[in-house]
Amino acid sequence: MKWKGLLFLFFLLFLTACGNNGNVNTGVDEMDDTDFEFENAETGQTFEVVHAYTLYDSYFEEIKDVPNDGHLDVYKSTVVDPIYDACFADGEFVHLADAYINDIPKNRIALQDVIKRINTKSTNEAIQDALLNSSNLLATEGNTVVCVFPSSDTNTNVLTIGSGKILITYNRNYTNDILKSATAHGYLQSVWASDFYNGESLTVLDHIVLGGKAVKFEKEVFPNIEVTKVNPEFSSAHWNTISKDFDTVDDALALKLLNGGSGLPSKYGYSEGYKIVDAFVEQNANMPVAEWLQVAAADMLEQSNYGE
């Protein structure tokens, strides 16, 4: 009987070994359903996934007996406050998340439908895969936090709040491929904020090239996943529409041009930004990501010769 006990012990050890990736140490916090923590043993980086969407049910339940003018206070106390430090505090671009901090959730039925679609386990796995692969390609110091919020808007998928802070706006069209791509996209921008952002206001060109860098990075991390589509055609008319505002400092305008619409193709700014970065990288084939990431937008546009 003793050998059977040893065989069972070896079997348990085998299962444990199979469950651990060579470059990840999953320090999962089993005490809190909103958190998933792990690290990249190769780079020493630590990561945290915050499932903010799990807090929405409490909000929807509590506001049943609260007048409309009190809903924002309930939202902040049940959803925002518990995760504010992890997701928003000290974020260089926290203003981009104003709708998730200072506005009550709209389209309750749509949001609840999105929340039901989110599988926490597969979400953790997809984000973990993206962060490990991203950090292997571009390492940085400090902790990186990905906060997952539900969204009824299908036109957005990721916001970079600042250094090591990424906000995923999970909508009904999400797949694991979109989740992976969005996480890699946000990771590149969060590293840029941490390592290279100097605090100055960003021009429209800065935004477009930074968006292009993030698209270039997501495609390098996951070459077999195509989420952000790139239009290979060049339109002088469309280019003139955005290039006249390149020196303008206007975050709202930059976001509008990045996403397209109003006569511009969908995601036009991201597509053109990618082509600028891709042209530059092609001319500097041996330059690692960390080096082309810090190249100024104006310099990258000039050296790429794109648009001429």
The separation between CA 140 and the C-alpha centre of its own chain, rounded to angstroms, equals 16
pTM of the model: 0.88
Paired residues of 40 in beta bridges: 24
Q: Which two tokens stand for residue 245?
A: 């505002």
The residue ranges of every structural domain in the chain are 23-195, 204-304
The separation between CA 146 and the C-alpha centre of its own chain, rounded to angstroms, equals 7
C-alpha 88/C-alpha 98 separation (Å) is: 10
Q: What is the pLDDT of residue 113?
A: 97
C-alpha 195/C-alpha 141 separation (Å) is: 9
C-alpha distance from residue 170 to each of 105, 152, 260, 273, 284 (Å)? 14, 8, 20, 24, 35
Residue with tokens 């906000």: 167
Q: Which two tokens stand for residue 198?
A: 């100097």
pLDDT by 10s per residue, the chain, length 308: 433 343 333 333 333 333 344 455 444 443 357 799 999 999 999 999 999 999 999 999 999 999 999 999 999 999 999 999 999 999 999 999 999 999 999 999 999 999 999 999 999 999 999 999 999 999 999 999 999 999 999 887 799 999 999 999 999 999 999 999 999 999 999 999 999 999 999 999 999 999 999 999 999 999 999 898 899 999 999 999 999 999 999 999 999 999 998 899 999 999 999 999 999 999 998 899 999 999 999 999 999 988 77
Q: Which two tokens stand for residue 54?
A: 């799990």
Residue with tokens 């397209």: 260
Identity of the amino acid at 273? G
Q: What is the pLDDT of residue 28?
A: 41
Q: What is the CA radius of gyration of the chain?
A: 21
C-alpha 277/C-alpha 186 separation (Å) is: 17
